[in-house]
Chain A
């Protein structure tokens, strides 16, 4: 039926993927500009805008807009769709229970910690970020170090792995969005994250295989929407990944040395 995609068609798909990333980068900027226009047109709303709800601080888990001096805790679920070539006929959905614990200090610094658990695959991450709060935008730049690891000891597996990865990260948060359009989230942030692999440890039975490297493993772009909800908040995110399938899907023992495109979805509650 001539259904197999030709090479140029494949290239077009790749270009479309890039276009999606570019559009996802551009849309929030456009939204912020729109918001600024409205602000200019209705200057009388400004005071109301920043104090709506009587909140003294913006409290968010993911957005650099967060300026709450207290500890901020949230938990939820992240679901990654494993690329078809890696999963083959096995399950393609990879869920992780996750928790976040963040703290602002010295006005311009954020300490962000997160934990993901599935026993087979887990991660623990900590990082320091510098933050600048503007009137319309907040920006953060920093680096997280993460250890991804897992254990599997049944039905033909006696395996354990641990991988050290760092994530240089840049985030931009769009402040007070919901004050401009009711249907916009209270905070929308866009995060660009790079994956750099350092050390990899694999134990199979009683044999250990170690690899020390410093390699670029890909990047991800996360669009995160956060909403106030009573005393807490809820968040929904969509992350597009362009990454090698190494540490994240270690159980597949994939030997592909190329970048795959796949998505991760986030949902959770901020206490």
Chain B
């Protein structure tokens, strides 16, 4: 009984994840000049000793980190990078979200394969860089080998397509950070997203914060001091006692919006309120932040989600709601009546070509949620005329356009 009480916050579902840590080669590396990152990306022909990374592989950069996607194997790796002895070294985690296995990978661009020039901040003298490396289940078991030969340049997904990271990225997918957290949103952009959907609740003292479930539980949090109904907690108690699965403090909506002003890889945030009481503060923050210029220019697009009539009434009761952009999840007609920016049906309704046509005729967009199976992409994009998807597998959607 005592053991059960002590381990109230434990979860047998959380795997321990391998890391290079302090023994990695990047410990004493020099940073890669941001200007040459564009020489590192593209679509590559991969030759790997296992099937974990197969088919055409895509390398993409976001926020000074690099990511490798395998569309065929539905796997990815996210790297930190640095220069070591005139070679570019990448170290990071591999992830197979379907089988929920995590490993480590180290890639390098040798000095005579363009590494020296990259580290010097100049364009490589050879046409394209070549990667070699190894990977495995842990740092001491990097037994598989991989090499990447350049194939084609990155194809940009349609510029008006929204690739929306579900909760940023999902904790249960062990993407590398907790969902509904700033680093989780960063991971969404590493994994090909250009927008995020986040969940917002309200503290006892009226502060909107990011969290999905109505209670603090072992699925999303860790530790033993934070349990029960989230609305019983003030923001101070949450900050002091509650930790997300990867040990992070739970962020407020204001903190996340402030972060996104400085992160131009995310162009839109879809705020999904989890309580009608949060609607007023959410609308106020949306109005405040959508007019603030971003560091890279332009403005952050903020959509306030309206999942049903109760939330619609709460939205209409919020001061200044006319200025806020909204997204209706349950009705095209309400979307048009309210002048909302978007309609967001569940993908389980099937593709909605007629609704999409009506919306497009009125300058609105349609986002389907939550589409993870790549076999659905063509039908929803073409027949369903999707303008975007919420997905837990944003890297698959991004690499779909590379095939």
Docked-complex contact A258 and B348, CB < 8 angstroms: no
Interface size on A, residues (CB 8 A): 29
Q: Note all chain A residues with C-beta closer than 8 A to B372.
A: 253, 255
A152 to B348, CA, bound (A): 9
A85 to B100, CA, bound (A): 11
Docked-complex contact A3 and B9, CB < 8 angstroms: yes
A258 to B9, CA, bound (A): 25
Which residues of chain A in 160-211 are interfacial with respect to chain B, using CB atoms and an 8 Å cutoff? 203-207, 209, 211
Docked-complex contact A1 and B224, CB < 8 angstroms: yes
Q: Is B223 an interface residue (CB 8 A)?
A: yes
Q: Give the residue name and chain of the B residue nearest to A152 (CB).
A: B348
A156 to B329, CA, bound (A): 9
Q: Note all chain A residues with C-beta closer than 8 A to B373.
A: 253, 255
Q: Is B392 an interface residue (CB 8 A)?
A: yes
Docked-complex contact A84 and B13, CB < 8 angstroms: yes
Docked-complex contact B10 and A10, CB < 8 angstroms: no
Of A6, A205, A206, A255, which contacts B392 at CB under 8 A?
A255
Docked-complex contact B10 and A3, CB < 8 angstroms: yes
Q: Is B99 an interface residue (CB 8 A)?
A: yes
A7 to B103, CA, bound (A): 12
Which residues of chain B in 162-200 are interfacial with respect to chain A, using CB atoms and an 8 Å cutoff? 172
Docked-complex contact A207 and B351, CB < 8 angstroms: yes
A91 to chain B, nearest CB (A): 13
Docked-complex contact B16 and A258, CB < 8 angstroms: no
Docked-complex contact B9 and A158, CB < 8 angstroms: no
Of A13, A256, A257, which contacts B12 at CB under 8 A?
A13
Q: Is A159 an interface residue (CB 8 A)?
A: yes
Other A-B pairs beyond A156-B330, A157-B349, A209-B375, 20, CB < 8 Å = A1-B224, A3-B7, A3-B9, A5-B10, A5-B11, A5-B14, A13-B12, A84-B13, A84-B219, A85-B100, A85-B172, A89-B214, A89-B219, A156-B346, A156-B348, A204-B349, A209-B379, A211-B375, A255-B372, A256-B98
Binding site for B on A (CB under 8 A): 1, 3-7, 10, 13, 84-85, 88-89, 152, 156-159, 203-207, 209, 211, 253, 255-258
User: What are the 6 tightest A-B residue pairs by CB atom distance, in nearest-first order?
Assistant: A205-B350, A257-B98, A156-B346, A204-B350, A3-B10, A7-B16
